[in-house]
Amino acid sequence: SIELNPSTPHPVIALMPDQNGVEDIGGTLRLGSCPCVLLTSSKAYALYGEELIHERHRHRYEVNNDYRAVLTEHGMVLSGLSPDGRIVEMIELKDHPFFIATQAHPELKSRPNRPHPLFKGFVEAALSYNK
């Protein structure tokens, strides 16, 4: 990530293109509820039960699209994309019991009586793995 190492030779996680060159970063986050289209063969889709979801965001970094091919060639599934396909919203490892990462903040939509699908899925996978 260039956030942690600005001179990394492999900027897999980089500033969103519209953030490059921005010096006054106040008010420039990708912020609020954003749509995401889930790959119907993904674990994420199985957890959400629908193809189009909306999740809350607060970031200015993203998966660098220059690395999409190498990531997928090595087993990463780009399981959620912005509707225009430009932004990778979720990734997962196909053959892992539960490896899902998201740009969103699922904690902002989770409630004591209605846990977020990602949290619920993680706990269910952990319980299943423990058996």
Express each pLDDT in 92-104 by its tens digit. 998 898 999 999 9
Mean pLDDT of 39-68: 92
Confirm whether 6 is domain-assigned: no
Whose tokens are 């060159």? That residue is 21
List b or e across 36-71, with b for residues whose CB sees 16 or more CB atoms inside 10 angstroms: bbbbeebbbbebbeeeebebebeebbbbbeebeeeb
Residue 1: CB atoms within 10 Å = 14
Percent of the chain exceeding pLDDT 90 equals 65
Residue 81 lies in a domain: yes
User: Is residue 2 a part of any domain in this protein?
Assistant: no
Please check whether residue 110 lies inside any domain of the structure: yes
CATH number at 40 reads 3.40.50.880
pLDDT in tens, 5-42: 889 999 898 877 655 555 555 556 666 789 999 999 99
**Which residues fall within 8 angstroms of residue 19, CB to CB, at 6 or more apart?**
25, 28, 60
DSSP code at position 39? P
> Which stretch of 32-36, 47-51, 75-79, 99-103 has the lowest confidence by average pLDDT?
32-36
CB atoms closer than 10 angstroms to residue 90: 27
Query: Is there a domain that residue 95 lies in?
Result: yes
- Separation CA 52–CA 103 (nearest Å): 15
67 found inside a domain:
yes
Total count of domains within the chain: 1
Does the residue 1 lie in any domain? no
Domain-located, residue 4: no
Show the tokens assigned to 123.
């706990």
Say how far apart CA 4 and CA 15 lie, in whole Å: 12
pTM summary value: 0.86
- Report the greatest alpha carbon distance in the chain: 51
Structural domain containing residue 41 = 13-130
